[in-house]
Structure 1
């Protein structure tokens, strides 16, 4: 009793904690105990001030007293102080504390309603309200006392407040929906940002209004069942929805920036981080709602664990693909835009996602390969070559004199070495064989280029120089020809066509 009265007197200081410790609010969700406790403290203090003065000597002080202490009896309920066990997180008693009983908390509104018209004890003045409900109620009834009439569990002013709050909440939700729809197709990123956040922000505002209505109008757990708990859950879900949308927008902007570079590492990291952040938001919202509803954390976490195992078993292919993406992230076998050979197919890397990799084949066909399969294959990365091989076979006609052949080979070496991208340390040029149609000269070397386009451009410049060299030396390139000998029937010498 002393803890409660002295704590309530210093409520705005440090007394609120002391006063709330004297009330049995174990049946109220932990997040709502401050709001509901202030309301119950108002009911209890206002009732005690009308019952009379407290004489400490009349209150038993034996902590081992076997029976509860009934301070006040009334036909609608009793004000009782009873011993209760304070439990730890595992349900084991750690402390025995005397508190105003849970039954008293449930009966206080009726007790106060029965005592409200009684005057305060002589010498006492009306204390300042501790809760938003009593402050609002006093302000409203001081101006319109007729609104105190009760109907269906609430007073008239409360019903008017409920209708007002519901109307404002509906307007807020409609405004958020209208803004989101209007700005969804905006060209500016500011407009799109506001449009995508309007819906969750409207839901958040409606949840805050609902929570304020629950506190200010006194929509307690006793009056409307789980109204207060529902308001807290709605606020948690609205916060989760807003956080989920913000995460999507942030990572969407980062992903758009990452796709402009050749490095695919940022894309995988962002995909994994985004999925993890969204999963944490969802799990946090579920645990928060379970805590408000009074469900034990262990049961929720165990259920999530069992569900996670079942989900992982059912989606093991997806999980293996995600792990494959992590392997590609750590090994980094290619970059976006690289030409790779995998599964006997040449393709260009387009995007590496969380579950699969998109490749564009040389015939412009889009190929989607699960990361698990791609990470287990032998990948030949043509795009990571530090140099590209040049292998050319040049055929000259058999009518070409030896001197011109030697001069052509010598000048060909000079032309190759003059190419800006040519690697001159490792090159082989010479007559390789006598082919069926030509004298074959082989050029084997490397260009210091990184892309296929640059390789084609370098080879084109070399071929054009070779054509100019042949024109200068007066040599001809061979092409497949056939000589047909026709034998006459009369035994004459054969002719050649």
Structure 2
């Protein structure tokens, strides 16, 4: 995973260089603008050398008593303008410990002897061969330990390490930073080197080796645990063995982070390396959190599949996406904080540009509100067969911005959620029944008795089939077609999906075909029949009913008489049938 550190370095070097770029010199012909600054009121604790020294000593005393938060007060007494902002906080904590040790090894501090208003603008606490410890008045009126003192402190302390403490801690060696104590024990041959001292190069190698080894051990251990979890829990069966791999990367990055802080690297190297490692820690944290969200989603989706309610199938993916957005935002803030980006100012800038952003992203906001509407109104669920405009297919996924529909020719269509709020949605998956309407064309030589028997046989099949609606169906002789006698079949299926509907329709139509074979009913197709010979007896019988000299009234009488005879047989005069009742 060394390549990840290299990538982080390439990202961080431009950031560091941008922060250290010197401002362009002003042309001699340009007149500098007159700038009037109103200096803020100086804090009483830093108003003069005595107060600054008292503030520092009191804060360090509190730190030694366990009040670690007071170290920031001690850091406030140092002029850290020459230290890069990216490491100023960590470097300041290290420098106050060094300064405290230097003061303890120098002399007892008598606050009353410190001039509160030196005329030269500086108070010198001590002079050493390596430099001075002095408090200097700043432009803003504060009295701080000078920049020169800050840069000379490590050298001054190195010259005093063999001296016992004259005031303060009984064992000042314990309060020193680890890298100073470690360097004091190193032989002189390891204190030389190029760019870094030899012992620091060795320390870097050891840290990288231990971190890489920890990455391999953690990754192997987690992969083994995942395999065991997959055997014990059915919900995790689909999980990849390496799903927790980012946690190994995080362990490696944390070891690098802790190790670099204890090597006492020069500021130029520490800026780049520490920020690169912090960025790597942040990225590994976000990656690990994403993987944990995937595991949670896997468990919740498995539980959702076991329920009959489809709402959770739609809700669980929304939970996954919401958590990932939340993790991304937290990761962004964490990374920005490590890079010393003022998050508050950034958020304030977003607030100022909020109106312009709203106009520019009205479609995005509309889609987001559309996803909320889909979630609350629930016009469809995952797996439903829907028709939206000219789009027809099954719902595959509902996101914050769009809904994905898999068509029946297997393409994937993405619809913006904003479109779903003002478009008609036909949810075929929510049908209680699936209708079937068809016409059976019988030949014209089919007798009325066969038609009656056939229609009743089809009704019996409907009543016998388990997935057909029994309280409403229609099977009747419906029309005279040009080449057939048409029987209307109007039925409903109580099947949950299309596959089952097709299976039951197949079974029902085959049963009708078997019934027609049993009753001798033939299905018609467009034909023309040529009569070559007629039955003389039938022609003579019909001719006796009709005579050429018959009047219109006589013809009407013949038709009425024959119709009444047929009706007396089929129903009977005065009989009024009631409504259709289903058995």
Aligned to 1:14: 66
Aligned to 2:94: 39
Aligned to 1:495: none
**Structure 2 unmatched runs, 5+:** 1-52, 534-583
Aligned to 1:160: 202
Aligned to 1:49: 104
Aligned partners of 1:357 and 1:370 also within 8 Å: yes
Partners of 1:286 and 1:405 in 2: CA distance? 77
TM normalised by structure 1 equals 0.72
Query: What's the secondary structure of 1:235's corresponding residue?
Result: helix
Aligned to 2:181: 138
Q: CA RMSD in A?
A: 4.9
Query: What's the secondary structure of 2:490's corresponding residue?
Result: strand
1:217 and 2:263 correspond: yes
Deviation at 1:452, TM superposition (A): 2.8
Query: What's the secondary structure of 1:106's corresponding residue?
Result: helix
Aligned partners of 1:8 and 1:19 also within 8 Å: yes
Over 3 Å counting, the alpha-carbon distance change for 1:180 and 1:486 in structure 2 is farther
Aligned to 2:404: 357
Over 3 Å counting, the alpha-carbon distance change for 1:403 and 1:251 in structure 2 is closer
Aligned to 1:70: 124
1:393 and 2:439 correspond: yes
Aligned to 1:201: 247
Partners of 1:218 and 1:42 in 2: CA distance? 13
Over 3 Å counting, the alpha-carbon distance change for 1:18 and 1:463 in structure 2 is closer
TM normalised by structure 2 equals 0.63
Bigger strand share: 1
Aligned to 1:438: 484
Deviation at 1:442, TM superposition (A): 1.9
Matches within 5 A, 1:122-271: 125-133=170-178, 137-138=180-181, 141-142=184-185, 144-146=186-188, 149-151=191-193, 156-169=198-211, 193=240, 195-198=242-245, 200-219=246-265, 221=267, 224-251=270-297, 269-271=315-317
Deviation at 1:13, TM superposition (A): 3.1
1:109 and 2:154 correspond: yes
Partners of 2:271 and 2:463 in 1: CA distance? 89
1:378 and 2:424 correspond: yes
Deviation readout 1:369-400 (Å, 9 max, x if unpaired): 43358626533332221112232323444334
Partners of 1:60 and 1:301 in 2: CA distance? 45
1:59 and 2:114 correspond: yes
Aligned partners of 1:263 and 1:335 also within 8 Å: no
1:335 and 2:387 correspond: no
Deviation at 1:251, TM superposition (A): 3.8
Aligned length: 471
Query: What's the secondary structure of 2:98's corresponding residue?
Result: helix
Aligned partners of 2:87 and 2:271 also within 8 Å: no
Aligned to 2:413: 368
Aligned to 1:494: none
Query: What's the secondary structure of 2:528's corresponding residue?
Result: coil
Over 3 Å counting, the alpha-carbon distance change for 1:58 and 1:18 in structure 2 is farther
Deviation readout 1:347-389 (Å, 9 max, x if unpaired): 344455564513232xx44242433586265333322211122
**Structure 1 unmatched runs, 5+:** 86-92, 488-497
